[in-house]
Amino acid sequence: MKTVAFITLGCKVNQYESNAMAQQFIKKGYKIIEPTEKADIYIINTCTVTNISDRKSRQMIRRAKELNKQAIIVACGCYVQVAKKEIEQIQEIDIVLGNNEKKQIVEIIENYKKENNELIEDVMDQKEYVELGETTYTEKTRAVIKVQDGCDRFCTYCIIPYARGRVRSRRPEKIISEIEKNAQKGIKEVVITGIHIASYGKDFKENYKLIDLLEEINKIQGIERIRLGSIEPLLITEEFVKRISKLDKLCSQFHLSLQSGCDETLKRMNRKYTTKQFEEIAERLRKYDKDVILTTDIIVGFPGETEEEFEKTYQFLKKIKFYKMHIFKYSPRKGTKAARNERTNTRKYKRRKK
């Protein structure tokens, strides 16, 4: 029996997809083992959301080869999708797969030939959601459920739209079926995740949105709690809040990706809302549920951010009174508008200094 080990970096979407790939191997008679053990095959599901993620992805690839020099090393995922030239320099990799190719991973490995080891489709050409097959979970009561892929927001600091492609929503009947099967296995809580779940249903011909899906999930017997992953604030309309207030299983915690509390910075980030709109959204949620928990992400040191703009963000965060905040410094991503602007401004500064 051949052994396979998974090393998964990044978000819950990657975790979900690693789980689905693992089930493909199990069906074919492979044994899944811990990534610290000596395996025949190592799957490194990479992340590229920050420079640190890129570095960790490279480190994990090399570490896997150190565990077993004879093993087949497969690099897949977002870092692979957007950094082809960098990946080609890593000699430890045997097979390179993009995000679309994850659905064929077992077949590709079994037909592996050293002279043909790279398969990366252009995700921008993918128009429909790709099903990865069945999933299972080690957690006894909670399951992550992927409902969509892709993002079309193109924030100036973010490389993910280029790694994941356009918005592709999963058919609701597929989602409901997966959740029902999990409920039958004793799963009590589902976490709804995706690359940009606020866009769920945007690509459907019929008028079917995230709130419609949540109302259907709320009816599933055996599921006791529904939790949402990170969402864009503009999803939270008056109608949306009225309808979710009637869902007794929806967890009253929302992670709203703010990124900055300064309008000038938000504009440079290409975020689609203002601080005034965000404040109204927070008030809207608290109007229907005074105990609602709000969490967020904040980027500091974004190109062009002044001390005054930083202070605006600081004061805005105090005003909103988040329960918890994930604050991290700006990480330039090659290929994004923000990174290009940062290099241009740096060159101008150096010329002035001379």
Q: How many helices (H) and strands (E) does the chain have?
A: 13, 13
pLDDT for 349: 38
Element (H, E) at 62: helix 51-67
pTM for the predicted model, two decimal places: 0.88
Domain 3-121 class in CATH: alpha beta
**Structure tokens given for 345:** 């401004």
Residue 324: half-sphere exposure toward Cβ, Cα within 13 Å: 5
What are residue 330's phi and psi, to 5 degrees?
-60, 135
C-alpha span between 290 and 277 (Å, rounded): 19
Query: Are the C-beta atoms of 216 and 172 separated by less than 8 Å?
Result: yes
CATH number corresponding to 252-354: 3.30.750.200
Q: Interior CA angle at 22 toward 94 and 25, to 5°?
A: 75
- CA distances to 8, 98, 163, 231 from 48, rounded to whole Å, are 12, 13, 8, 19
- CA distances to 109, 146, 147, 150 from 196, rounded to whole Å, are 30, 11, 9, 7
What are residue 333's phi and psi, to 5 degrees?
-110, 120
pLDDT for 85: 86
Tokens 């927001």, residue located: 153
pLDDT for 291: 94
Alpha helices in 127-232 (DSSP H): 160-164, 172-184, 210-217
pLDDT for 138: 58
Tokens 């190109």, residue located: 303
pLDDT for 45: 97
- Can you tell me whether residue 271 is helix, strand or coil? coil
Are both 3-121 and 252-354 of the same fold? no
Per-domain residue ranges for the chain? 3-121, 123-225, 252-354
Mean pLDDT by runs of 10 across the 354 residues of the chain is 95 94 95 96 95 94 95 95 89 92 93 67 78 74 94 95 95 96 94 97 96 98 96 96 97 96 98 98 96 97 96 98 96 90 52 46
CATH number corresponding to 123-225: 3.30.750.210
What is the four-CA torsion angle of 321, 327, 332, 338, rounded to 10 degrees?
A: 10
C-alpha span between 293 and 281 (Å, rounded): 13
pLDDT for 134: 75
